[in-house]
Structure formats: C-alpha cells, structure tokens
Structure 1
C-alpha cells in the first residue's frame, strides 16, 4: 500500500506546475483505497473509522485555487475531490468532518494567501504611482517657479532698462 501511496503523495511536489493533475492523482488513489476497503473488502484498515485519504490532500487541495488560472475548473475539481475524501456513500460524522476539513483548509489558505498577494501588489502599485505623481508634481512646481522667477527677472530688467533710457535722455 505504501508503494502506491508514496508516488501519489510525492505528486504534491508538482502542485505548482500541474495542480489539477495532483488533485486527480490523490483523488484517484483515495477512491481506489476506499473502494478496495469498503465494497470490495480486499483491504482491512487498522482503524475502520479513520479517513482513508493521505494527509497530502491538504497540500493538494491548496494548489488549484492558488496556482490555477481557471477558478471554475479548480472549484469543480475540488468539489469532486472533497466528495471522494468525505465518502458520502458511507456517511458518518467522522468521515464527513475529517474529509471536509482535509479538503477545505487548503483552499481557504490558498484564497487567503492569494488575496494577500493581490493586496500587496495593489499596495506596491499604489505606492509606485504615488511616487511617480510626487515626482511629476515636483517637476511641475519647479517649472512654475522657474516661470515665476523668469517673469520677475523680466520685470526687473525692463524696469532697469527703462531707468537707463530715462537717465540717458536727460
């Protein structure tokens, strides 16, 4: 059983590249184990009331919402994955609760970190825009000050030239 579970859990390393594939692999593994235990009776679990999904399901459920661009496909894959892990065909409070928690914690964390990342990007962009606007306003203020000084210098020079012309005319 461990020889089959190890590659399924090791697929979590590729959740950034192919998050839906990882969810599919772990979902298939969990479904196969569940069907081999319950209807087929081929496997006998040590603790029948436990969830039969590997703990890697939490990490696998994190990937589709954080790394996948198409959220609709990610939600569909996670819903199917949750159904497989919860085993609704063998309803018990433990199965439903543990299965839901194992598949809900990952997406909730993914949504939180994605929102936080987007917020930080927005704040960085806002700070950069404010910095550009500050530089533009400073340049505009310098240009206005230069224009004001040039106008004053023009007035002063005009006044002096007028005085020189008046004195030269006497």
Structure 2
C-alpha cells in the first residue's frame, strides 16, 4: 500500500493487525468525528440519568436500587471518556468495557460506538466475536434491570436489531474505505507505470540518439581527419586545393558542433520531461545517399555506385534511413581502415523483394600512412542491431576475393 493512503486509514494497512498501536496522528476530521461521538454518548448519559431520577420511578428507564444510579453515572462517564482511546486500542477498549454492558444503562451509546469502531477498524471475525459477546451481556442486563414498559423478548429484539444495524453500518464504512484505498492504489500504480513507460521511452530515445550520433560523428570526423592528413602530407599543394580542403574541414567541424549541440540540448531537456526547444532536423533517407557519396568524393575517396533500385521514391522512410546509415558506416570504415582504396556501392531492390545495400573495398596492403583514426569498434555492432530491429540480415567480412564486404538486406513491403 502506498504511503499516501496510510495517514487516513492506517487500520486498513497490511501491518495494522500485527502492530495496532502504530496509528497516525489525528487529523482535523478525526477530531471532529471523535468530538461528535463523545458529545453523543455524553448526551445519552444525561438523558439516562435524568430519566432514572424522575419522580415516578416505576416508569423510569431500567430502574434499579438507589445506589445503582450514581454508580451507573460514574460508569457512563468512564465509558464516555474512554472513547478518546478507541482509535488506538479499539479491541482492547471493547474488551475492557464489556463488563459495563452487564449493569450500565448510561454507557449504552458509548458501547455501541466502541463496537462500531471495532467493526470498521478490525477484520470481520474479531468484530463478530465482540458483537456476539455484547449480545450475551444484554441478556444479563435485561434480566438484572428489566424495562418496566417492555417485555423481555421485545427488549432483546430491539437490542439485537440496533446492534445489527450498527454492525452493518460499520461493515459498509469499512468496505467503502477499502474500496477508496484500492482505487487510490490503482491510480497511483497506474501513474507510476506511466512514469516508468515515459522513463523507458526516454531511455530508448537517448539510446537512439547515441546510435545516430555515433554514425554521424564518425563519418564527419573521419572526413576531418582525411582532409587534415592531406594538408599535413602536402604542404606545397596549390592554394586553391588548400582553401578547398580548409573549407571542407570548417564545414565538417561546424556540422559536428551542430550535432553535438542538438544531442546535448535533448539530453538536458529530457531530464525534466520537457520538449526540446530546437526541432529535430529531418532524418536522412535513401534520397540523401547521393549527397553522402559526393561528400566522400570531395574528400578524395574513389567511389563507384551501382543504383538498381526500382521506384526509390516508394522506399519507406525507416528502410531508407537504415540504408543511409549502412552506406555511411561503410564509407567511414573504408576511410578509417583502408585509406586510398576504391569503394564500390551497390543498391538494388523493389517493393516486395526488399532492399539490398552492398559496400565493397579492397583490403589494405601494408600499413596505413600517418596516424590511424581511432574508433570505438561499435559501428558495425550498431548497424547490425539496426538491421535486426528492421527484420533484415547483415553480413560483413572478407570474401573469397580478399575484399572487405558489408552487405545488408532490408524488408521492403509491396
């Protein structure tokens, strides 16, 4: 049970029976209810005492010996005062006041309130046992102090009916409170589950952003390294080439900073559940592959393309984005690990047959000149996960001819 429900109905918690003394402090509503119960019991006490002192004792309420009237008054005051303890020790108080039900008429309402408290706060077996005990005491009471205007059997019927009504009312109140707690618990659990789903969606989105950033940054940083290496090994290049390479470096660096700014902004605003103030840039599709290839050609990579895709405009966006990332990863790996080699890209497919993406480059011979471009070694792992999630197949490694081959098949519904 949640902590929010505990202060209002602590007796309905699972541990209430094991440690009944652990109750919450009275609320304003509890003070009002307890005050009304005390005043109601005290009012009955005054009515009973006044009735017992009437001039015609032969018709007074449950008369008895003269000494019994002050004793009964004292017992009634004790019963009324003990009502302030009924929330902390309902069962113990009911058992302690049980002997009063044998002789006291002034404590009748206070005893009914205690019985009602037990029915509301404790399980049915305990409440039923105490109610049965109180009904037994009424038999003795009606024998010791018979009503002067009502036969014994009619007095017992009235007593049983009133006690039964009090017990039924208490059971109704207990059932209603349990229902309220159950509904509140369900609402809080649903809210917690919704927050968990939001957190999971947020984590999945962060993971997706991390994958996208790996692909994008690895591609752009490899271009930066390639152009910077060209400037390092050819310091005597014509000014036009140097200017063109510097422009490419500047543009790639600016794009990298843009991407980093986007992902940092998303991660910052994501912590409080808000939306990013900067709209996410459109994701690349199959139509952006030619621009990606041209970017590598400008960087000096020899790329040949065989495009056999039928109706490329009908390729689903998710499939086209995966194809773009596969080509991007193949070009990045070729620049990292096989600098100077030619790269062959083949795209083929049709609706219903699937989309095939193949990138092939010669295996490098000897050491790569200059310092190698560091990598995390997770690019192909991420591509493999992306392809698996799309329901496709991925193959990579050296083939029989000695070339490195990266090939993927992606489903393309008809």
TM range (shorter): 0.5 to 0.7
Q: What CA distance in whole angstroms lies between the structure 2 residues aligned with 1:91 and 1:52? A: 19
- Of structures 1 and 2, the one scoring higher in RCO (CA 8 A, sep 6+) is 1
Of the three residues 13, 17, 24, the one matched with 2:88 is 17
Q: 1:161 to 1:117 in 2, by over 3 A?
A: same
Cα shift readout 1:17-64 (whole Å, capped 9, x = no counterpart): 23234333443123135xxxxxxxxxxxxxxxxx88622232021122
- Per the alignment, residue 59 of structure 1 pairs with 113
Structure 2 residue 134 is the aligned partner of structure 1 residue 74: no
Q: 1:52 to 1:86 in 2, by over 3 A?
A: farther
Q: What CA distance in whole angstroms lies between the structure 1 residues aligned with 2:98 and 2:162? A: 12
Partner-residue secondary structure (3-state), 1:22: helix
Instruction: Confirm or deny: 8 A CA contact 2:90 2:117 kept in the other structure.
Output: yes
- Per the alignment, residue 122 of structure 1 pairs with 182
Of the three residues 136, 156, 164, the one matched with 1:96 is 156
Cα shift readout 1:102-160 (whole Å, capped 9, x = no counterpart): 322333232222222222222222111111221222233334445556666747x8645
Q: What CA distance in whole angstroms lies between the structure 2 residues aligned with 1:148 and 1:31? A: 77
Partner-residue secondary structure (3-state), 1:29: helix
Q: 1:145 to 1:52 in 2, by over 3 A?
A: closer
Instruction: Confirm or deny: 8 A CA contact 2:120 2:174 kept in the other structure.
Output: yes
Instruction: Confirm or deny: 8 A CA contact 1:85 1:99 kept in the other structure.
Output: yes
Instruction: Confirm or deny: 8 A CA contact 1:23 1:61 kept in the other structure.
Output: yes
Instruction: Confirm or deny: 8 A CA contact 1:62 1:106 kept in the other structure.
Output: yes
Q: What CA distance in whole angstroms lies between the structure 2 residues aligned with 1:151 and 1:20? A: 63
- Per the alignment, residue 13 of structure 2 pairs with none
Higher share of residues assigned strand: 2
TM-score (norm 1): 0.66
- Per the alignment, residue 202 of structure 2 pairs with 142
TM-score (norm 2): 0.31
Q: 1:29 to 1:147 in 2, by over 3 A?
A: closer
Instruction: Confirm or deny: 8 A CA contact 2:115 2:127 kept in the other structure.
Output: no
RMSD: 3.4
Instruction: Confirm or deny: 8 A CA contact 2:101 2:107 kept in the other structure.
Output: yes
Partner-residue secondary structure (3-state), 1:62: helix
Structure 2 residue 191 is the aligned partner of structure 1 residue 131: yes
Q: What CA distance in whole angstroms lies between the structure 1 residues aligned with 2:103 and 2:165? A: 23
Q: Which deviates further from its counterpart, 52-61 or 141-150?
A: 141-150
Q: What CA distance in whole angstroms lies between the structure 2 residues aligned with 1:138 and 1:19? A: 44
Structure 1 residue 71, shift from structure 2 partner: 4.5
Instruction: Confirm or deny: 8 A CA contact 2:121 2:174 kept in the other structure.
Output: no
Any stretches of 5+ residues in structure 1 without a counterpart?
34-50
Partner-residue secondary structure (3-state), 2:88: coil
Q: What CA distance in whole angstroms lies between the structure 2 residues aligned with 1:102 and 1:10? A: 23
Structure 1 residue 80, shift from structure 2 partner: 1.0
